[in-house]
A and B are shown apart, each in its own frame.
Chain A
Amino acid sequence: MNELERMAISRRRFLQIAAATGVVVACGPAATGGGAAATGGGAAATAGKISGTVTVSYPDEAGFKPKYVEQAAAAVKAKFSDLNVKIDLQKINSDDYYTKLLLQLDSNDVPDVTHVSGEKIGELADAGYIEPLDSYVSQWADWSQYSDAVKSGVTYKGKVWAIPYGLDMRWLYYRKDDLQKAGLPADWKPTNVQGILDAAAAVKKSNQTNVIPYALYAGPAGSGGTANHAFVPLLWAYGGELQDKDGKWIGDSPAVRKVMAYYAKAYGDGLSPKDILTATKPWTAMREKVGNGQLALLFEGGWVYGGWAAKDKAATQANVGYVLHPTESGGPSFTVGGPGTCWYITAKSKNKQGAWETIKAVNTKDIVAKLNIEDPHPVARSDSADVAEFKADPYLVASSQALTKAKFTPVDAAYPKVQAAIQKATARVAAGEVSPTEAAQRYTDDLKQAVGADKVTTQS
């Protein structure tokens, strides 16, 4: 009791001091979340009188999005003469943007519209940072263009929280020229997971100058790619799951041990370069290397194809092959699906109606089609796939078809924390510090640290 009392005093005092020094910004953002949702529907009725300013904040390093956001802003301004749209384009990577955004959301100076991965829906909603969109989409005719699968990807605790423009899917990319020099066919297709390592070993053996056989993301440096582009597809390939039926996260299991053994092989045999563990944003270098033929094999997002195609479409079509991820036993290949980057309305926004109008304007049939042609993703709204230019692109058609074979990453507030645990666990085995068995055991500990021991289980 005494201890509690003392703490209470110290808390009060530290808040006083912090408030006096201007360190603390308003707490309790959740308090505003629920109430504001109720006003959303009512505001929709007064759509004709939208005014004020809407701030749209979004990150884009590649530079595909600005012209479409500007186009949408112009359309909104034309429709509502009293509404001003301020665009806050951040030319930083999405990880840095997210941290910056969270610090902003914790304050009172928030953008009205923001743009981050749909994987963050759970934790953003739990924090009370984002606005549920049910009352908005229910009055939006175009919402019927979004399939149930897409809708469920942006639904959390029974509410819709974000509007996606393109879905995430991944390919196992390979350089046809590099593989051919290693004696493999140009239309290479691994029959099972081992087939990837075999091809990588063949490339290594063929001793091509400046060609890395394979890049397998590991560690914190790999960021989201460590889970979504490496550990998770391998886990599924070996018949494992991230969560059990009760929603508990599975630590040490036969499949996890196999994944760790795969990592040990890829890194131990020098097939995948160790500097993935220390490089700043290793994916930048790895993507670039596939583009210029210096990396033979890489499982990566479907969207990275856009970077290569923008540089040299003909050469990319001639040299970069893409296949689905194989499984251990040669069962049906698959891809990893995800909600992609989505548009959100912040809970503290003072102009939610204006924000919604802006989101609608940037998600028209036409803009969604065009944006996904440049920044290739399967389109989130079905009618965008009917746009002639989209239908004419074989890569986009294949990517959209691949979605039928996609297994989706969990829509769970804890998933970002689980990803951090995956990063720690894979780093150890990739650095050669622990055996695969030990790495799998340590993964259990990492998970317990990340999400709490009661939410973790193991399988033998």
Chain B
Amino acid sequence: MTVAGAGAIGPRSTGLGRTLKRNRLYFAGLTPAALLLAVFFVGPALWALGSSFTNRALVGIDAANPRFVGLDNYTRLFGDPDFGRVIVNSIVFVVGSAIIGQFILGLGLALLIDHAQQRGFRAANFVYAAVLLAWVDPTLIAGFLWVAMFDFYYGSLNVALSVFGLGPVNWFGQAPMLAVIIANVWRGTAFTMLIFLGALRTVPGDVYEAARVDGASAWRRFWDHTLPMLRPIAALTLLSITMSTFGTFIVIQTLTNGGPSFQTEVIALYAYHEAFQAHEVGYGSTIAVAMLVLNLAFAVFYLRWSRARA
């Protein structure tokens, strides 16, 4: 329930004072959250927006005298040959790791575990726990775990291959994007799985009963009944994992740090590198603003999609 919605209850309540009085409980409840959001989200976002119009730097002459440079940073961004590549990388990473990987795998796992649990198949709990364990790992630990897996010299994968007289394979050299996608899917699938497991419990069993009586196949039951019921929650899940994946950079930083040669450089990592490695805070902020705009576009798209279909 929103404040506006609450206000709509009394059409005769005119004037700010009366509105405040009538809805004081809502205001009292929402103010702490609004303040926290302002301090930790709106403030820094505005700061980044402001910085993006300056040549603010961490060191050098621009650190001593930051100047307003108008749209220079934006002009530079659109003329930056690396930026196009970074956008493409980000889209490949989000589609590969969030949409194809985490979402489909998470949904599949949820369906399997739900099915198994309904049949009393206990082993499903082990799968559930294993997927969950990957999720509770701190991101940095998860990153190093996959470094230990993919490393050229000491990595478990190459050691395992050498037992069969194969390899070594330079995973990060030959398929860097695939490597970081696999690591991120492994790390993040549990979230989607948990959401869908919860959602599946809310699907009433008699719907399936009726469908079964009608002689519908398992696939049809899924397609005609399960999926439509999951759609609103699916949109929300997609939105959430798309945005978090878009902002991911610790996993990639640990695994390839964007390399080799920008092949895994995603937008969040690029903003970080420009701001804190090249020490150009102004330009780094510009990239962050571009990221914010793209994230908003994703959000609008998903929300419209879920409203249109639900």
Report A's interface with B, CB cutoff 8 A. Answer: 3-4, 7-8, 10-11, 13-15, 17-18, 20-24, 27-30, 33, 99, 102-103, 106, 120, 122-124, 126-129, 219-221, 273-275, 277-278, 280, 285, 413, 416-417, 420, 424, 427-428, 430-431, 433, 445, 449-450
Interface 0/1 of B34-54, CB less than 8 Å to A: 000011001110110110011
Is A14 a contact partner of B259 (Cβ separation < 8 A)? Answer: no
Contact A278 B60 (CB under 8 A): no
**A428 near B261: Cβ-Cβ < 8 Å:** yes
Whether a CB of chain A sits under 8 angstroms from the CB of B65 is yes
Q: Considering the chains assembled together, what is the distance between the CA atoms of A278 and B174 in angstroms?
A: 11
Task: Please measure, in the bound complex, the distance between the C-alpha atom of A83 and the C-alpha atom of B151, giving whole angstroms.
Answer: 50
In angstroms, how far is the closest chain B Cβ from the Cβ of A23?
5
Contacting pair B59 A221 (CB below 8 A): no
Say yes or no: A275 contacts B170, CB within 8 Å.
Answer: yes
Q: If the complex has contacts A127-B60, A220-B273, are A102 and B153 also in contact, measured as CB distance less than 8 A?
A: no
- Complex contact B257–A220 (CB within 8 A): yes
B161 on the A face (CB < 8 A) = no
Beta-carbon contact of A28 and B257 below 8 Å: no
The stretch among B13-21, B208-216, B228-236, B274-282 that forms the contact with chain A is B274-282
B63 touches A129 (CB 8 A): yes
> Which residue of chain B is the closest to A3 with respect to CB atoms?
B70
Closest A residue to B263 by CB, please name it.
Answer: A431
Contact flags (1/0) for B58-96 with A, using CB distance below 8 Å? 111101111010100000100011100000000000000
Contact partner, B70, options A7, A24, A30, A280, Cβ 8 Å: A7
Residues on B with C-beta less than 8 A from A18 are 43, 46-47, 50
Q: Is the CB of A274 within 8 A of B260?
A: yes
Q: Is the CB of B260 within 8 A of A120?
A: no
Is the CB–CB distance between A277 and B259 below 8 Å?
Answer: yes
Question: Contact at A445–B81, with CB atoms within 8 Å?
Answer: yes
The answer to whether A128 and B64 have CB atoms under 8 Å apart is yes
Contact B278 A219 (CB under 8 A): no
Whether B170 contacts A274 by the Cβ 8 Å rule is yes
Does B172 have its Cβ within 8 Å of any Cβ on chain A? yes
Q: Are B261 and A277 in contact (CB under 8 A)?
A: yes
Complex interface: chain A residues within 8 A of B80 (CB): 449
Set of chain A residues within 8 Å of B66, measured between Cβ atoms: 27
B residues neighboring A (CB under 8 Å):
38-39, 42-44, 46-47, 49-50, 53-54, 57-61, 63-66, 68, 70, 76, 80-82, 147, 151-153, 170, 172-173, 176, 254-263, 273, 276-279
Instruction: Check A427/B260 contact, CB under 8 A, given A129-B59, A413-B60.
Output: yes
Verify B152–A273 contact, CB threshold 8 A.
yes
Residues of A within 8 A of B263 (CB): 431
Expressed in whole angstroms, the Cα–Cα distance for A395 and B5 within the complex equals 80
Partner of A430, one of B61, B70, B153, B261: B261
- Cβ–Cβ contact B257 & A14, under 8 A: no
In the complex, the chain B residue whose C-beta lies closest to that of A29 is B64
Q: What residues of chain B lie closer than 8 Å to A221, measured between beta carbons?
A: 257, 259
A122 to chain B, nearest CB (A): 8
Given contacts A106-B63, A126-B64, 6 further A-B contacts (CB under 8 A): A7-B68, A14-B46, A33-B64, A274-B170, A275-B172, A427-B259
Contact B50 A10 (CB under 8 A): yes
Q: A127-B64, A449-B80 are in contact. Are A17 and B43 (CB under 8 A)?
A: yes
